[in-house]
Amino acid sequence: MPRHLSAGRARLRVATRAGFALLGTAATLPAPGPAAAQLPSQSQVAPQGNRIVAVVNGDVVSRADVVGRARLFALNAGIAVAPETLERLTPQVTRLLVDERLRSQEVQRRRLPVTDAEVAEAVAELERRNNLQPGGLRAQLSQIGVQPRVLYDQIRVQIGWGRLLRQQLGPSAQPTDAEVEQAMRAAQARAGQPEFQVSEIFIPVDDPATEGETRRFVEEVIRQLRSGTPFPVAATQFSQAQTALQGGDLGWVRRDDLDPEVFSVVERMPAGAISNPIRVPGGFQIVALRAKRESGRDMATMLSLRQAYFPFSTTLDPNNPTPQQRDQVDRAQRLAQEARNCNAVEQAASRSGGGERPSDPGQIRLETVTPPPLRSLLASLQPGKASQPILTSEGVMVMMVCSREQKNLAELTPEQLKTQLLRDRVENLSRQLQRDLRRRANIEMRS
């Protein structure tokens, strides 16, 4: 069984993108466009839509279910899925849906209902995260021919499975103070050793006869990743690890946290690389190496800041600005001259009409800010000093650094260690239960 520690709150998501939300909040559902247009049309799918591809303990998985999930993947990834690509994805998408049926059946058997209100709240959270109006997600799905229930069913299974795992573990799953203390001593003993910030996709192999087929699917996922599909998108849709709920994020891991086969690859990878398929006990892993550091040492410059954005009503023509654009630039210039603290910038932001860009983007690590000119600007700003107006084609912005401090981000607290230990137990239980469900199930695959 693959060994790892996972990081990040267990939360539902369609995708995540690491980024800096200064010039706009990060959107996780690209707008539908040509990427999705290459999927089979509804008229192409309709003749085969009711064809049964699998029967799971009496529940049917249809061809339409498989195509719907592939369309959802395309929407998330913002990629084109041509008919031939869809055919390559079909075996693994089918397997994913079979596993979801098994999970859903077990949740129902244990009488752990997930209400429509809970699903609706998860959908509303996705819409808020993606700056969509209520109902906007449903409209996007409809635009590319995805029935909303495809997403709703996936969310319902994720909520229910998480609830089942919590029930199975019970209160005794909480690490004891002695276990946390032992983990703390071990972490201190590892100070100076290399650590790796890793994301994973785990694709299981249940039947040796299907290993070749599974490997071809894994290679297709890698090809999409290297063509630009965000790793968290692919992880959320296809990974069978519990970390799929966090976009595949394993957090910072060390040699002992990884399978030997995975570590031998990760230690040779440059930051930003995506691995080839790695055969591990139980299946294949794909890993992305995001960063490296020494254990216990990760010094960073952390900024708290505020920003006020003044949007233009039309795209700026630098040679012919409109009166509205001149007014917005004037407002930004006055703010840059008069603001003496972050409260002033925040108040100006509340009146600016640029609500889609948060006045408080949260704590920012300076070293990760992109693009580099923006990083240089923030590095040069003294706390309490407003920047000069930053002009874009869509609007003008003023920024102010509220505080700047040096922090060792690698320092572990007892609470963090406790959370890591618990997540490791949840992941191990999830994989064990999924294997048991498959072993007991009556699954009939149709060609």
Reported as a single tens digit per residue, the pLDDT across 95-144 is 889 999 999 999 999 999 999 999 999 888 888 776 678 888 888 888 77
Domains, in order of start, for the chain: 34-295+413-445 (3.10.50.40), 299-408 (3.10.50.40)
Say what the pLDDT of residue 59 is.
Answer: 94
> Which strands form 278-280's sheet, in the order they lie side by side?
249-253, 194-204, 283-294, 278-280
Q: Which candidate, 177, 145, 182, places its Cα nearest to that of 70?
A: 145
Tens of pLDDT, residue by residue over 304-338, are 999 999 999 999 998 999 999 999 999 999 999 99
The CB density around residue 442, as the number of other CB atoms within 10 Å, is 8
Instruction: State the burial class of residue 86 (Cβ atoms within 10 Å of its Cβ: 0-12, 13-18, 19+).
Output: buried
Confidence of residue 22 (pLDDT cuts 50, 70, 90): very low
Which tokens is 440 given? 């007991």
pLDDT at 77 over 70: no
Query: Bridge partners of 45?
Result: none
Say what the pLDDT of residue 381 is.
Answer: 93
Say what the pLDDT of residue 371 is.
Answer: 84
Confidence of residue 80 (pLDDT cuts 50, 70, 90): low
